[in-house]
Amino acid sequence: MTRREQRIRIMNCIYQYLLTEKELDDIFEDNLDINDKESIEFIVTNTIGVINELDNLIAQIEPLLIDYRFKRLGYIEQSLLLLSAYQLNLKEIDKPIIINEAIEIAKLYCDDEAPRFINGILDKV
């Protein structure tokens, strides 16, 4: 499984959590139908990290949203911004890689304006 595929799974987990507030075990059961231990570890670690830091990440992102509130964004955009901000804060992966991945995923799952919007926000994180 590629890192992009893993990030899409993480985005799905975060999306599902934001939308339903289901237990993480149930969310992982829905999204971890794979046998790749490295992928599972990456997905679980990043998802739990985002959920544990949810309030701090929102507080970090919201001031960057000129004339917007975080909760007014679509759940997919929220999920991508949360995941990307979390990974940027870890400083384990280069910033351009994280931003590019978020943009490419946004191109697949969001409307036409989202990639540019996400790029602008993440560039300020």
Number of domains the chain contains: 1
pLDDT > 70 fraction of the chain, expressed in percent and rounded: 100
Tokens 């996400």 identify what position? 118
Helix axis angle, 37-52 relative to 75-90, nearest 10°? 100
Structural domain of 17: 3-124
**What CATH number does residue 80 fall under?**
1.10.940.10
Q: 21 falls in which pLDDT band (50, 70, 90)?
A: confident
pLDDT at residue 42 above 90? yes
